[in-house]
């Protein structure tokens, strides 16, 4: 059966490579393609600063885009299967708002709770930890509450409610913060792929890998869950263990991504649906790598657009993903009768 998909995977990988190089070739400074490739392989280029831009700015940014797109896609896929809801995703279920709350507490709350600590706390690492912790706690809360209601729509609403609560807390915090802190938080909310140095990217990559490994381990459980929890149980699946595994994987992926790149909207929801439309399967052994490729491709494209090539401006990445993501959701709802889930 897998041979049918081998072709599609090959094509997707080629597209991914193409998008990767296109993404690196484009930017506010126009660099000839030849020089881009030269700086990639380390050959000296006609302009020293070009080499610096490609190696220390564009390359980490492109890798970040791949990690963000694939990670959000995969966590969205897992949430949709776990919650038996095609509209689930890290964003809808409040993981991202949890991360926002964590970050808001660190950026803006520090001055309220302990003035002296404020400066020390706002390092990249404290933001990462706060975002991960926030997303994990909110997802756990959603899960605990949703274990009491069986209705999947109720779960979705509970997730949205938690989102509202965190948004309210963030508002209260913003009210008491300085303009500078507020700006820092709002800029974090725009999302950004280009802020990471190689060493930060490495840490990001390591945590991301943990999340991916856990997702791969969850594959069998996710496939069993396609039958519903009672059948899954009768097939010997330890529901509680699998559920926890999926949650940890999702919060590692979505939490770190939100921490390093800000709350990127819609990718987690839209990519799994796009993938299902094209691959026409529910088997996670196929979907997981396919979502990985699609997520990475779409994120690279979004980032290329956000760069506004050859102009000095960079649009917030979050706006671009929503501009692409929202029409996808509308399109899915319109053709709902054929929706694959």
335 lies in the binding site for another protein (CB under 8 A): no
In whole angstroms, how close is the CB of 274 to another protein at the nearest point? Answer: 15
Give the binding range for another protein (CB under 8 A) out of 170-178, 202-210, 256-264, 280-288.
280-288
22 lies in the binding site for another protein (CB under 8 A): no
- Residue placing its CB nearer to another protein in the complex, 3 or 230: 230
CA of residue 65 relative to chain centroid, distance = 9
Give the binding range for another protein (CB under 8 A) out of 167-175, 207-215, 229-237, 290-298.
229-237
What does the alpha-carbon distance between residue 144 and residue 142 come to, in Å, rounded to a whole number? Answer: 6
Helix, strand, or coil here: 313? Answer: coil
236 lies in the binding site for another protein (CB under 8 A): yes
CB 193 within 8 A of CB 68: yes
The residue written with tokens 């030849």 in the block is: 34
Number of residues that bind another protein (CB under 8 A): 28
Q: Which two tokens stand for residue 310?
A: 């050859």
Among 23, 224, 256, 321, binds another protein (CB under 8 A): 224
- Residue placing its CB nearer to another protein in the complex, 202 or 235: 235
In whole angstroms, how close is the CB of 123 to another protein at the nearest point? Answer: 38
Give the binding range for another protein (CB under 8 A) out of 67-75, 88-96, 114-122, 219-227.
219-227
Give the binding range for another protein (CB under 8 A) out of 115-123, 136-144, 198-206, 224-232.
224-232
**Sign (positive or negative) of CA dihedral 314, 316, 300, 200:** positive
Q: Which of residues 54-113 bind another protein (CB under 8 A)?
A: 81, 84
276 lies in the binding site for another protein (CB under 8 A): yes
Q: Which two tokens stand for residue 221?
A: 């459980």
Q: Which of residues 238-257 bind another protein (CB under 8 A)?
A: 238
Neighbours of 191 (CB within 10 A): 23
Across the chain, which distance is largest between two alpha carbons, in Å? 66
Among 168, 213, 217, 333, binds another protein (CB under 8 A): 217
What does the alpha-carbon distance between residue 41 and residue 44 come to, in Å, rounded to a whole number? Answer: 9
- Residue placing its CB nearer to another protein in the complex, 3 or 175: 3
Among 237, 245, 271, 306, binds another protein (CB under 8 A): 237
124 lies in the binding site for another protein (CB under 8 A): no
The residue written with tokens 């671009």 in the block is: 320
What does the alpha-carbon distance between residue 129 and residue 84 come to, in Å, rounded to a whole number? Answer: 29
- Residue placing its CB nearer to another protein in the complex, 80 or 166: 80
Binding mask 132-171 for another protein (x = CB under 8 A): ----------------------------------------
In whole angstroms, how close is the CB of 119 to another protein at the nearest point? Answer: 47
Give the binding range for another protein (CB under 8 A) out of 71-79, 158-166, 234-242, 308-316.
234-242
- Residue placing its CB nearer to another protein in the complex, 1 or 41: 1
DSSP string for 45-103 = -S-HHHHHHIIIIIHHHHHHHHHHHHHHHHHHHHHHHHTT-TT--TTTTTHHHHHHHHH
Region of 237 please: left (phi>0), alpha (psi -120 to 50) or beta: beta
The residue written with tokens 């050859």 in the block is: 310
Q: What angle do CA 102, 103, 104 make, to 5 degrees?
A: 95
Q: What angle do CA 224, 96, 284 make, to 5 degrees?
A: 20
- Residue placing its CB nearer to another protein in the complex, 44 or 234: 234
Q: What angle do CA 105, 109, 115 make, to 5 degrees?
A: 140
- In the complex, the residues that contact another protein under the rule CB under 8 A are 81, 84, 216-217, 219-220, 223-228, 230-231, 233-238, 276, 280-283, 285, 340-341
């Amino acid at each position: 059966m897998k041979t049918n998909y081998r072709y599609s995977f090959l094509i997707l990988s080629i597209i991914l490579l193409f998008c990767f190089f296109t993404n690196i070739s484009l930017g506010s400074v126009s660099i000839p393609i030849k020089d881009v490739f030269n700086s990639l392989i380390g050959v000296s280029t006609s302009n020293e600063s070009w080499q610096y831009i490609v190696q220390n700015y564009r390359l980490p940014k492109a890798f970040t885009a791949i990690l963000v797109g694939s990670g959000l896609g995969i966590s969205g896929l897992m949430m949709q299967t776990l919650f038996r809801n095609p509209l689930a995703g890290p964003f809808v279920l409040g993981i991202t708002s949890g991360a926002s709350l964590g970050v808001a507490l660190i950026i803006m709350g520090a001055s309220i709770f302990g003035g002296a600590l404020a400066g020390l706390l706002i390092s990249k690492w404290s933001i990462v930890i706060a975002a991960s912790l926030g997303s994990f706690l909110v997802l756990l809360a959603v899960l605990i509450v949703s274990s009491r209601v069986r209705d999947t729509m109720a779960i979705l609403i509970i997730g949205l409610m938690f989102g509202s609560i965190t948004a309210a807390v963030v508002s209260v915090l913003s009210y008491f913060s300085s303009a500078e802190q507020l700006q820092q938080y709002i800029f974090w909310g725009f999302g950004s792929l280009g802020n990471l140095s190689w060493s930060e990217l490495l840490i990001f990559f390591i945590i991301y890998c943990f999340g991916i490994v856990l997702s791969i381990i969850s594959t069998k459980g996710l496939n069993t869950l396609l039958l519903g929890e009672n059948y899954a149980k009768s097939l010997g699946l330890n529901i509680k263990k699998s559920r926890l595994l999926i949650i940890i994987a999702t919060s590692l992926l979505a939490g770190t991504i939100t921490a390093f790149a800000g709350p990127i909207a819609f990718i987690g929801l839209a990519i799994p649906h796009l993938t299902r439309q094209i691959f026409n399967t529910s088997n996670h052994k196929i979907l997981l790598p396919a979502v990985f490729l699609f997520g990475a491709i779409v994120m690279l494209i979004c980032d290329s657009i956000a760069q506004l090539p050859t102009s000095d401006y960079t649009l917030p990445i979050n706006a671009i993903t929503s501009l692409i993501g929202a029409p996808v959701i509308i399109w899915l709802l319109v053709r709902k009768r054929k929706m694959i889930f």
